Homo-oligomer: A and B are copies of this chain.
Amino acid sequence: MAAVISDVQALTFDVFGTVVDWRSGVIREGRALRPDVDWLPFADDWRRLYRPTLERVIRGELPWATFDELQRLMLDQVLADRHVEGLTEDEKASLSTVWRRLDPWPDAAPGLSRLKERFVVAALSNGSMWQLICLAKHGRLPWDAIISVELFHAYKPDPRVYLGAAELLQLRPEQVLMVAAHVYDLRAARSHGLRTAFVARPAEWGPDAAPERPDPGEFDLVADSFEDLAARLDA
């Protein structure tokens, strides 16, 4: 195991994209609702609204709201932008909660089970507590703890999220390893003293999208899967 992380006691995980495959889940539920709509770009547009919407909350332009509420706002925007009409209020309400019913990547639950034998494994996600609980039950994810940004009324990459998680775990930041498939998340975690592991999820945005690639050496670990991460951490 890399010496730099020999002091790590807990692993905190980004969830949407890193643990669960949002794209295929959104497409599946969208198609079941309206087979005539092209849900591939719809899913991508919806997900792409995350960052700017959360940035508006971080800047104070939008009041604090749970991710469930923000995802409903974003859904309405994508429906309008893509001229998808005729969904009933119940259908929109149901579709907006698809983020609670996404399947994990195949290696996620087995990898977490291995890592859990050696470390505390915790979700650290922009999802609400309730979304993350539902996702864990749906995918049988064996979290030791779920730490939603809702506990801090802040969204990643706000420092309060990373430092607040370390505080709840009664650990110093360098004893916490942030695991994510997203460079922005890991860069923020690193800047606040956490250790970092990049797990590649090349299929996150579908087969035609360019996968995220970290700069060489910028994170403590790079892995292909949670099983690979467990092996690199001797778990």
A residues bordering B, Cβ < 8 Å? 68, 116, 120, 122, 128-130, 133, 136-137, 144-146, 148, 150-151, 168-170
- Among all A-B residue pairs, the 4 with the closest Cβ atoms: A130-B170, A129-B168, A133-B145, A133-B144
Interfacial chain B residues near A120, Cβ < 8 Å = 133, 137
Query: Can you report 14 residue pairs joining A to B where beta carbons are below 8 Å apart?
Result: A68-B170, A120-B137, A122-B133, A128-B170, A129-B168, A129-B170, A130-B168, A130-B170, A133-B145, A136-B144, A137-B144, A145-B146, A148-B168, A151-B151
In the complex, what residues of B have CB within 8 A of residue A129's CB? 145, 168-170
A116 contacts across to B, CB distance below 8 A = 137
CB atoms of B68 and A133 under 8 A apart: no
| Number of chain copies forming the complex | 2
Contact of A169 among B68, B133, B137 (CB under 8 A): B133
Q: In whole angstroms, how far apart are the Cα atoms of A68 and B116 in the complex?
A: 23
State A133–B12 Cα separation when bound (angstroms).
Answer: 14
Between A136, A144, A150, the greatest number of chain B beta carbons within 10 A of the residue's beta carbon is seen for A144
- Among residues of B, the one whose C-beta sits closest to the C-beta of A119 is B137
CB-defined contacts of A150 to chain B, threshold 8 Å: 168
Bound CA–CA A137/B121 (angstroms): 10
**Given A145-B146, A146-B145, residue A169 in contact with residue B130 (CB < 8 A):** yes
Which residues from chain B contact A137 at a C-beta distance below 8 Å?
A: 116, 120, 144
Per the bound structure, the CA–CA distance linking A68 and B168 in Å amounts to: 12
CB distance from A195 to the nearest CB of B (A): 18
B-chain residues with CB within 8 Å of residue A146 when the two chains form the complex: 145-146
CA distance A150 to B145 in the complex (A): 14
A129 to B146, CA, bound (A): 10
| Chain B residue at smallest Cβ distance from A120 | B133
Contacts of A130 in B (CB 8 A): 168-170
Contacts of A148 in B (CB 8 A): 168
- Measured between beta carbons, the chain B residues less than 8 angstroms from A145 are 129, 133, 145-146
Residue on B nearest A134 in the bound complex, by CB: B120
A170: nearest chain-B partner, CB-CB: B130
Chain B residues closer than 8 Å to A68, beta-carbon distance: 170
Complex contacts, A144 vs chain B, CB 8 Å: 133, 136-137
